[in-house]
């Protein structure tokens, strides 16, 4: 809010200054033309003077209105044919939140990879991307995972990156104009800059809060709060477990069939008391963009609870299509393994199955 006020005050202040500099440039060009010093067409001469090296007012005013958002990270993601059910979920969640669905869904087997961004190159269209960590989501229920997915969709659906870019651009422009204008002309820009900066400080968590709120609204405050809590507490431990599992797998004779599954199993088999306790303490420290866990959970719980769609099932069981994706992703970590051998996981599963069949046998 304060940023928007600062932005418009900045533009309002620059407009008469830009008009004066246009007048000066036009007068200069006219004199040059009449005196026969310049043969360039009048309009080009005026433009050259307005945008000459060192001039600031007109370029800053135009840049303020311009859409300068660029983000080179693109990529097609996984197709509708590969993950039809996940695509359907994303479309449905976006529709419920009243925003555009993502243009690309990326998947990762590593922890902490749930994120969102909008790519844009030059004059190309904006493309919305979400990335989901199969390892993180494997440890959540179907409904909790929907809260995480909805949160990421909200980031791109409500243009959070572009909004942030507008703020940073104006912070830069205001600083540059204040530095270039002589005193006392620079003073109002410094005041406007301070208003804008205060807005940025106060609104530092706005995007995360909006994404949390939208997710809790459509998925249910109960699931959203639980997803937040689990993500915060799993996160730091999972990072270590994944590293360990990957290192062991790279050294060992057999590669796991699915890396996230292998890491999730190790994670679930141990207590990690100390690491978890440390994660709990860290969760209560607000981040640069995120409020502290307690505040986020309280906000989610303020939204209505919902029964959910998953009936307590785990996320991965609800999306069997993701098993194939995970196998393909896992193979990219072991390019030198000539035959992708059966994993420990599947060996264990077969052993368990054999044991069950034996006990059932008469």
Q: Is-contact 195 9, C-beta < 8 A?
A: yes
Report whether 262 contacts 343 (CB < 8 A): yes
CB of residue 155 vs Zn ion: minimum separation in angstroms?
Answer: 6
The phi and psi torsions of 119 (rounded to 5 degrees) equal: -90, 150
Our CB check for Zn ion shows the closer of 214 and 258 to be 214
Please, which of residues 195-224 interact with Zn ion by CB under 5 A? 208, 211
Nearer to Zn ion, 134 or 148 (CB): 148
CB of 74 to Zn ion, least distance (A): 20
Using CB under 5 A as the binding rule, the residues of this chain from 313 to 342 that contact Zn ion are: none
Measured distance CA(238)–CA(111) in Å, rounded: 6
Q: Which is nearer to Zn ion, 17 or 228 (CB)?
A: 228
| Residue with Cβ nearer Zn ion (208 or 257) | 208
Least distance from Zn ion to the Cβ atom of residue 150, Å = 11
* Nearest to Zn ion of 181, 233 (CB atom): 233
- Report the C-alpha gap between 215 and 230 in whole angstroms: 16
Task: Please give the structure tokens belonging to residue 352.
Answer: 């368990």
* H-type alpha helices, 160-258: 160-180, 186-202, 206-219, 221-251
Please identify, using beta-carbon distances, which residue of 90 and 211 lies nearer to Zn ion.
211
From CA 320, how far away is CA 342, in angstroms rounded? 19
* Neighbour count for residue 223 (Cβ, 10 Å): 28
Whole-Å CA distances, 179 to 44, 54, 55, 311: 28, 12, 12, 60
- Least CB distance to Zn ion at residue 55 (A): 40
CA distance 167 to 189: 15
Q: Tell me the closest approach of the beta carbon of residue 167 to Zn ion, in angstroms.
A: 16
Instruction: State which residue, 211 or 318, has the beta carbon closest to Zn ion.
Output: 211
Number of residues located near Zn ion, criterion CB under 5 A: 2
Instruction: Identify whether the C-beta of residue 259 lies closer than 8 Å to the C-beta of residue 330.
Output: yes
State in angstroms the smallest separation of the CB of 361 from Zn ion.
52
| Distance separating alpha carbons of residues 132 and 149, to the nearest angstrom | 7
Instruction: Output the smallest distance, CB 39 to Zn ion, in A.
Output: 57
Q: Which residues bind Zn ion (CB under 5 A)?
A: 208, 211
């Amino acid at each position: 809010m304060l940023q928007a006020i600062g932005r418009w005050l900045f533009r309002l202040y620059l407009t008469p200054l830009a008009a004066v500099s246009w007048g000066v440039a036009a007068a200069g060009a006219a004199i040059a033309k009449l005196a026969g010093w310049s043969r360039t067409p009048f309009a080009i001469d005026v433009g050259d003077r307005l945008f000459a090296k060192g001039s600031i007012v007109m370029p800053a005013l135009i840049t303020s209105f311009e859409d300068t958002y660029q983000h080179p990270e693109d990529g097609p993601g996984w197709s509708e044919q590969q993950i039809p059910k996940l695509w359907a979920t994303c479309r449905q969640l976006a529709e419920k939140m009243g925003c555009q669905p993502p243009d690309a869904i990326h998947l990762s087997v590593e922890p902490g990879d749930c994120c969102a961004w909008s790519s844009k190159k030059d004059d190309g269209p904006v493309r919305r991307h979400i990335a989901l960590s199969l390892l993180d989501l494997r440890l959540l229920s179907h409904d909790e995972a929907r809260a995480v997915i909805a949160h990421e969709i909200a980031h791109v659906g409500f243009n959070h990156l572009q909004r942030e870019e507008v703020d940073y651009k104006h912070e830069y422009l205001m600083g540059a104009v204040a530095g270039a204008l002589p005193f006392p002309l620079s003073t109002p820009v410094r005041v406007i800059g301070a208003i804008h900066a205060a807005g940025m400080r106060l609104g530092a968590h706005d995007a995360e809060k909006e994404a949390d709120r939208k997710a809790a609204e459509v998925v249910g405050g109960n699931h959203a709060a639980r997803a937040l809590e689990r993500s915060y507490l799993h996160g730091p431990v999972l990072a270590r477990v994944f590293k360990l599992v990957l290192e062991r797998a790279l050294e060992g004779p057999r590669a796991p069939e699915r890396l996230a599954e292998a890491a999730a199993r190790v994670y679930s088999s141990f207590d990690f008391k100390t690491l978890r306790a440390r994660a709990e303490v860290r969760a209560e420290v607000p981040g640069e963009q995120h409020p502290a866990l307690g505040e986020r959970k309280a906000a989610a719980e303020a939204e209505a609870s919902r029964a959910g769609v998953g009936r307590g099932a785990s996320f991965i069981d609800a999306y069997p299509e993701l098993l194939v994706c995970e196998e393909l992703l896992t193979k990219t970590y072991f390019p030198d393994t000539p035959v992708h051998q059966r994993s420990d996981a599947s060996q264990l599963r077969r052993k368990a199955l054999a044991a069950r069949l034996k006990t059932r046998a008469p």
